[in-house]
Chains A and B, each alone.
Chain A
Amino acid sequence: MSAAFSREKRSAGWILSAPLLLLLAGLLIWPLYLGIKTSLMHDVLSDFDTYYTGLENYKNLISEPNFWNSIRFTLIFAIVATLVELVLGFLLAILFDRIFPGKRILFSLMLVPIMIAPSLLAVMFRLILNENIGVIPGILNKFGLSYAIFDQGNIFTSLIILDVISYTAFTFLLSYSALQNMSQEIYEAAAIDGATTLQILVRVTLPILRPALAIIFLLRFLDSIRTFDSIYILTGGGPGTTTQTVGIYIYKTAFIFGDFGLAAAAAIVLVMLLAPFMPSIIRQFNLGTEPNK
């Protein structure tokens, strides 16, 4: 290609990317600076004075058990929720991977939870589980059962159920897409060799889909680390701080207790804890979206 064309290419590249570069400058670089700066300052709502304190916030954070407890709770919650959702979504995808009456409408209905904001789903969840007017306690009562969602012993299960209702549609959809990409010939060959349905599932389907399932797990796991809305609306992180995710810890530290410096430090430590895994995660996701050579 001519030199003139490649010059046009270069200037066009800058012009086309200008909106993105502006957004990155305004909403990434500047806020990054503000975040780091805040984390190094005494910045408390109740005190009009803000001043540099060096690494004071970080020191306080490291010795703050609530922060580490929230990290532990977030990890446990994310692992359990993701595993349940992946298994359910995959099994459901296998059920859907055949022709049956009403498949189209049921498929559409199954995707509905994706379209409902998790916060709104949490409000609905409170509604149907309310012990006075809720449908679920009503049904359970008829069978002489009861289930108190906010009980110390039940709260974790309640939160997992809510998350599963919210996100299984997502793992289902991705598993289903992965199943659709498998060639029919493999099944036919296995069937000719006399393999049973279960054998095909365990020996053929699962090994082939393992990379796809690993990515679905990773995606959902990374997303559930940020869980905030539904748990905040349902429990506010309580009872006490037992269901406090890192997100809720940071939010409450800044906007309820008014310590912006400590909260900013917590956000930075959170990303630093994730940072070592980033390069390998990015490699995992390398979706063939690298630019043309």
Chain B
Amino acid sequence: MRRKWGVTAVVTVIVTFFLIPLIGAFYTSMRTDAAIASGPFVWEFDSDWTHYRNALGAAGYDFPSFFRNSVVISLGTVFLTILVSFPASYAIVRLGFGGPWILRLALALRITPAIFFVIPFYKLFTVFQLIDRPLALILANSFINMTLAILVFAGAIREMPLEIEEAAAVDGASIWMTLRRIVFPLLGPALAAVGVLTFLFSWSDYLFAVVLTSSEATPVTVGAANFVTSYGVRWGDISAAVCLSVLPPLVFATAAQKYLVKGLSSGAVKG
């Protein structure tokens, strides 16, 4: 047993290394401005969350609106991605729609660097006056995440026993009824996996956000980075804003960790 605690100790040290940035940011966010200014080891903590209250509006930053935008963009992307990829995956796998070509296209798109789409999207959304609107980011992120979603859904649908659907068809159920009553509930875990991955990836998007927004629709990723340039020395407030920014995906993905793991490994390596 002593050797096993040895493994725990080694792993703890390694895991702590990977968490240093987060721990450091949280540490700074909890200290008073005076303590921050007089070096990293002055232990003087702020008991009433001043930096957090500043970040959340007390100091007049735009951070609350960045936060709202991130929530709208991420949830919108999850919804649109599932709407687009779930029915299509069923059509591809079970109804033979499009042959193998749609899946190959999805893979090819997954390999194509997102930067390739940045200028075309900028031009397109300029035409439709969607620049600096959350809808532009919802569309761009859905397009990028759709490929992984199709791969995860297609894999899950293939693993579903065909007999259930066949039995339903024999009993006279239409494709629509089968889809709604049988396939949709059975694919709960795959839906959860796509949901959590899409939420995570769209919350993390920086590239499209920096190109397609200027102020009104700016999410936390771009907002936090700009924060550093505009309010360079307010380290406590910046740290609090960054800690708040990572909180929703952290809570959501930890709660759905099982599905995160499943989605990442089934969308990536298999067979």
Residue of A nearest to B10 (CB): A95
Residues in A with CB closer than 8 Å to B97 are 13-14, 16-17
Do B103 and A291 touch (CB < 8 A)?
yes
Residue of B nearest to A284 (CB): B107
The answer to whether A289 and B24 touch (CB under 8 A), given A32-B120, A250-B115, is: no
Residue of B nearest to A9 (CB): B95
Q: Mark A268-288, 1 if CB is under 8 A from B, else 0.
A: 101100100010011001111
The answer to whether A222 and B111 touch (CB under 8 A), given A127-B238, A135-B24, is: yes
Do B225 and A233 touch (CB < 8 A)?
yes
Residues in B with CB closer than 8 Å to A201 are none
Select A247's contact among B113, B221, B224, beta carbons within 8 Å: B113
State which of B46-54, B56-64, B187-195, B241-249 sits at the interface with chain A.
B241-249
CA distance in complex: A14, B87 (Å): 10
Do B83 and A19 touch (CB < 8 A)?
yes
Do B254 and A228 touch (CB < 8 A)?
no
Residues in A with CB closer than 8 Å to B211 are 251, 255
State which of A61-69, A147-155, A173-181, A187-195 sits at the interface with chain B.
A173-181
Besides A13-B97, A219-B269, 16 other CB < 8 A contacts? A28-B143, A35-B116, A96-B11, A99-B4, A106-B12, A108-B254, A117-B203, A123-B25, A127-B238, A133-B40, A135-B20, A165-B17, A229-B207, A271-B112, A287-B155, A287-B270
- Some 22 contacts from A to B, beta carbons below 8 A apart, are A5-B169, A12-B95, A20-B85, A26-B139, A34-B119, A111-B261, A112-B22, A116-B249, A119-B206, A119-B225, A121-B21, A136-B24, A138-B41, A165-B18, A165-B20, A173-B264, A178-B269, A247-B113, A251-B207, A278-B108, A289-B93, A290-B100
Interface residues, chain B, with chain A CB atoms under 8 Å away: 4-5, 7-8, 10-12, 14-15, 17-22, 24-25, 27-28, 36-37, 39-41, 83-85, 87-88, 90-100, 102-104, 107-109, 111-124, 139-140, 142-143, 146, 150-151, 154-155, 158, 162, 169, 174-176, 179, 200, 203-207, 210-211, 220-222, 224-225, 227-228, 235, 238-239, 242, 245-246, 249-250, 253-254, 257, 260-261, 264-265, 268-271
